[in-house]
Every structure is written in C-alpha cells, then in structure tokens.
Amino acid sequence: MKAGIGLGAILKAASFAAEKHREQRRKDAEASPYINHPIALANVLANEGGVTDPSVLCAALLHDTIEDTETTAEELKRLFGDKVTAIVLDLSDDKSLPKEVRKEEQVRHAPHISTEAKLVKLADKICNLRDILASPPADWSTERKRAYFEWTTRVVAGLRGVHPGLEAVFDGLVARQSELNCSER
C-alpha cells in the first residue's frame, strides 16, 4: 500500500479479510460464511452509496479483523497503511468490556469517529438490519430483533449527516421492521 491505494489494495484487503475470517460463520440460520458480511459493506458503500475512496472500501472489508481475529493494528498498518488502520481502529470494539458496555460505547463514540469510519459504520448497520430482516439468528425473538433495531438507531443518530442517501436506506429498513412489528401484534 505504500505505493498508493487503489483497486489492487481493495482486492488485497478482500483476500486478507477472507483469510482472516475463513473459519468464522454468521449467526444467521444458515450460518453463512462471515466474509459475506464485509463484502456486503463494501458493496453497499460502492454501489448504493457511490463511495469511491479506496481507503474506505478497504476499511469496510477489514472492519472486523482487529476485533474478531488475531489481526493486530501493526499488521494492518504494515499491509494497508496508516489511514486504513486508523479507520479500522475507529470501528473496533474493546472486546475486554462486557457486551452491554461495548454497545453503549458504540452509541457514545459514533459522533466522534472520522467521516470515513462513519461511512463504514453506517454500511455495517444497514447490512446487519438487512440480515436480520432476511435471515435472523434462529434463536432471536421478536423482542430481541426490535431491541437490536432500536439500539442501531441510537448508533446511527451519531452518524447523521455523513451520507443522506445511505441514511435514507437505513431509515427504510427501520420503517420496514416497524411495519413487521405492527403486523405481528
């Protein structure tokens, strides 16, 4: 990446993420391969959001590597540079904290992260909501899904203004969940 960042770097990030996440599965009923998630983020950013910044697209592909694999910040810095690493670090939860504390930290931290990290975080929340609507974890009750949507809405409140088009996509997913909740009552 030291020679510049472009399409080659994005493909390198996809390959790196695929290797790092190769044994991981999503929590959906099908236990789909985890790599589908970071690829979906990059796709949302590029094809729905018109985001062309290679650093943002690389960070989308790598966003969970520090948090969920043995990847270190130093490793990312060496392979992908300071900017991509800074974005990924902005997005990484402190796994030493209890889950509920991490969730509240995301809400608190969201308004203060970089613009690039906000874009990735917004795409992450869009993809997570789509996954829950299409194929939720088998053990999630209606109440748990509703609570997740409410929490995600609190996180995205701190991202507002970064990309109105993607925010509208997010809002549409929240509205869809609300309609489903009303029809289930």
Number of alpha carbons in the 13 Å side-chain half-sphere of residue 28: 18
Crossing angle between the packed helical segments 115-134 and 36-43, to the nearest 10 degrees: 120
Judge whether 98 and 35 are in contact, CB under 8 Å. Answer: no
- 129 burial (CB, 10 Å; 0-12 / 13-18 / 19+) is buried
Written as six digits, the tokens of 34 are 């985890």
**68 catalytic residue (yes or no):** yes
Written as six digits, the tokens of 106 are 């995301």
Distance CA 101, CA 105 (A): 6
Give the active site residue among 28, 67, 75, 167: 67
**Closest C-alpha to 56, from 24, 21, 91, 30:** 91
Give the active site residue among 68, 93, 104, 167: 68
Written as six digits, the tokens of 60 are 């989308």
Categorise residue 174: left if φ over 0, alpha if ψ from -120 to 50, beta otherwise: alpha
Catalytic residues: 67-68
